[in-house]
Structure 1
Amino acid sequence: MQAKYISYQDTASFSKLALDYIDDQLQLKDFYSYRPELEGLKSAVENRAETGDRNILVYVLQKQYASLTPNKSVLKNIELLASKDTFTITTGHQLNLFTGPLYFIYKIVSAINLARELKIAQPDKNFVPVYWMATEDHDFEEINHVNVDEKNISWLQSTNGATGRMSTKTVAAAVTAYKGYLGISKNGKHLAKMIEEAYLHHDNLADATRFLVNELFQKYGLVIINADDRQLKAEFLDIMLADITKQNSARTIEDTSKKLEDLGYKSQVNGRDINFFYLIDNLRERLIFKEERYLVNHTDISFSKEELENELQNYPERFSPNVVMRPLYQEVILPNIAYIGGGAEVAYWMQLKANFDFYKVPFPVLLLRNSALLIDRRSAQNLFNLGFKLEDVFLPTETLKNNWVRNNTDATLSLADEMRAITSIFEQIKLSSYKIDKTLSVSADTALTKTEHLITNLEKKLFRAEKRKHKTALTQIENVKKRLFPNGTLQERTMNLAPMYVNYGEDFLSTLIESFDPLGGDFTLLLP
Structure 2
Amino acid sequence: MNIASLIDSNPFSLAERYRQGDPEVIELFGLHPSQEEHWARRALLLDETSERRASLEQVALAIRTYQSKLPYYSEAAASLEKLEQSRTLVVVGGQQAGLFGGALLIYYKALSVVQTAREAEKRLGRPVVPVFWIAGEDHDFDEANHVNIQSPKGGIRRIRIERPEGPRLAVSRTPLTTQQWETALQELADQLPDSEFKPALLERLQSHITDCPSLSLAFARLLADWFGREGLLLLDADDPNLRALEGPMFRELIVRNNELETALKAGESQVLSKGFKLQAETNPGSANLFLHHEHGRLLLHKEKDRFIDRRGHVSYSQEQMLELTSNSPDCLSTNALTRPLMQDYLLPVLAAVLGPSELAYWGILGPTFHEFGMSVPLLIPRQSFTYLEPNVTKLLDKYSLSVEEAITDWEQKKSEWLAEQDEWNLEEKFRLAKRQFEELYAPVIDTVSSLQPGLATLAATNRDKILEQITYLESRSLDAIAKQHEASLRQWDRIHQSLSPLDKPQERIYGTVHFWNRYGPEWLVRWLEVPYQATGGQRLVESLTNS
TM-score normalised to structure 1 length: 0.82
Residue pair 2:91, 2:349 contacting (<8 A) in 1 also: yes
Measured in 2, the distance between the counterparts of 1:72 and 1:475 equals 47
1:237 Cα deviation from its structure 2 partner: 2.9
Q: Does 1:160 align with 2:168?
A: yes
1:91 corresponding residue in structure 2: 93
Residue pair 1:397, 1:478 contacting (<8 A) in 2 also: no
Residue pair 2:102, 2:146 contacting (<8 A) in 1 also: yes
Measured in 1, the distance between the counterparts of 2:10 and 2:497 equals 16
1:87 Cα deviation from its structure 2 partner: 1.0
1:3 corresponding residue in structure 2: 2
1:218 Cα deviation from its structure 2 partner: 0.9
2:464 corresponding residue in structure 1: none
More deviation, 147-156/468-477: 468-477
Measured in 1, the distance between the counterparts of 2:530 and 2:223 equals 20
Measured in 2, the distance between the counterparts of 1:501 and 1:516 equals 21
1:99 Cα deviation from its structure 2 partner: 1.5
Match of 1:308 among 298, 321, 324: 321
More deviation, 96-105/470-479: 470-479
CA offsets per residue over residues 416-452 of structure 1, 9 Å max, x none?
xxxxxxxxxxxxxxxxxxxxxxxxxxxxxxxxxxxxx
Alignment of 1:313-332 (within 5 A): 313-332=326-345
1:336 corresponding residue in structure 2: 349
Q: Does 1:517 align with 2:523?
A: no
Residue pair 1:145, 1:153 contacting (<8 A) in 2 also: yes
Q: Does 1:290 align with 2:336?
A: no
1:144 Cα deviation from its structure 2 partner: 1.4
1:116 corresponding residue in structure 2: 118
1:346 corresponding residue in structure 2: 359
Residue pair 2:11, 2:17 contacting (<8 A) in 1 also: no
1:432 corresponding residue in structure 2: none
SS state at 1:525 partner: strand
- Paired amino acid for 1:154: R
2:512 corresponding residue in structure 1: 497
1:13 Cα deviation from its structure 2 partner: 5.5
Q: Does 1:215 align with 2:252?
A: no
Residue pair 1:336, 1:364 contacting (<8 A) in 2 also: yes
2:66 corresponding residue in structure 1: 64
Measured in 2, the distance between the counterparts of 1:60 and 1:179 equals 35
1:519 Cα deviation from its structure 2 partner: 1.8
1:504 Cα deviation from its structure 2 partner: 1.5
CA offsets per residue over residues 74-128 of structure 1, 9 Å max, x none?
0110111121221111110001111111100000011111112222333x30111
Measured in 1, the distance between the counterparts of 2:250 and 2:495 equals 51
Measured in 2, the distance between the counterparts of 1:229 and 1:501 equals 29
Q: Does 1:24 align with 2:12?
A: no
1:507 corresponding residue in structure 2: 522
**Aligned pair count?**
473
CA shift in 2, pair 1:20/1:68, >3 Å? closer
1:476 Cα deviation from its structure 2 partner: 4.6
Measured in 2, the distance between the counterparts of 1:312 and 1:164 equals 20
Residue pair 1:165, 1:205 contacting (<8 A) in 2 also: no
2:197 corresponding residue in structure 1: 187
- Paired amino acid for 2:3: K
1:322 Cα deviation from its structure 2 partner: 0.8
CA offsets per residue over residues 338-372 of structure 1, 9 Å max, x none?
11121001111112121111101231111111111
Measured in 2, the distance between the counterparts of 1:318 and 1:14 equals 41
More deviation, 36-45/270-279: 36-45
Q: Does 1:381 align with 2:394?
A: yes
Alignment of 1:113-512 (within 5 A): 113-122=115-124, 124-149=125-150, 150-156=156-162, 157-158=164-165, 159-169=167-177, 170-182=180-192, 185-245=195-255, 246-272=257-283, 273-280=286-293, 283-401=296-414, 472=485, 476-512=491-527
SS state at 2:380 partner: strand
Measured in 2, the distance between the counterparts of 1:15 and 1:508 equals 33
SS state at 1:160 partner: coil
CA shift in 2, pair 1:29/1:119, >3 Å? closer
- Paired amino acid for 1:178: L
SS state at 2:26 partner: helix
CA shift in 2, pair 1:284/1:476, >3 Å? same
2:449 corresponding residue in structure 1: none
1:34 corresponding residue in structure 2: 31
Residue pair 1:52, 1:335 contacting (<8 A) in 2 also: no
CA offsets per residue over residues 457-477 of structure 1, 9 Å max, x none?
xxxxxxx9xx99985477754
SS state at 1:125 partner: coil
Measured in 2, the distance between the counterparts of 1:185 and 1:402 equals 34
SS state at 2:383 partner: coil
Measured in 2, the distance between the counterparts of 1:116 and 1:289 equals 43
Residue pair 1:146, 1:154 contacting (<8 A) in 2 also: yes
Measured in 1, the distance between the counterparts of 2:196 and 2:259 equals 55
CA shift in 2, pair 1:404/1:186, >3 Å? closer
More deviation, 269-278/345-354: 269-278
Residue pair 1:367, 1:518 contacting (<8 A) in 2 also: no
1:311 Cα deviation from its structure 2 partner: 2.3
- Paired amino acid for 1:336: V
Residue pair 1:56, 1:231 contacting (<8 A) in 2 also: no
SS state at 1:371 partner: strand
Residue pair 1:13, 1:490 contacting (<8 A) in 2 also: no
Measured in 2, the distance between the counterparts of 1:215 and 1:91 equals 17
Measured in 2, the distance between the counterparts of 1:337 and 1:356 equals 14
1:503 Cα deviation from its structure 2 partner: 1.7
CA shift in 2, pair 1:293/1:72, >3 Å? same
SS state at 1:32 partner: coil
- Paired amino acid for 1:496: G
What is the CA RMSD across the aligned residues, in angstroms?
A: 2.9
Unaligned runs of 5+ in 1: 413-463
CA shift in 2, pair 1:211/1:299, >3 Å? farther
Measured in 2, the distance between the counterparts of 1:182 and 1:406 equals 35
2:441 corresponding residue in structure 1: none
More deviation, 392-401/26-35: 392-401
Measured in 2, the distance between the counterparts of 1:146 and 1:479 equals 20
SS state at 2:209 partner: helix
SS state at 2:79 partner: helix
1:161 Cα deviation from its structure 2 partner: 0.9
Residue pair 2:33, 2:379 contacting (<8 A) in 1 also: yes
Q: Percent identity?
A: 23
More deviation, 392-401/154-163: 392-401
2:82 corresponding residue in structure 1: 80
Residue pair 1:168, 1:199 contacting (<8 A) in 2 also: no
SS state at 2:5 partner: strand
Unaligned runs of 5+ in 2: 151-155, 426-474
1:203 Cα deviation from its structure 2 partner: 3.2
CA offsets per residue over residues 497-523 of structure 1, 9 Å max, x none?
122101211111112111152326442
CA offsets per residue over residues 377-403 of structure 1, 9 Å max, x none?
222111112223344433322453477
1:426 corresponding residue in structure 2: none
Measured in 2, the distance between the counterparts of 1:403 and 1:19 equals 32
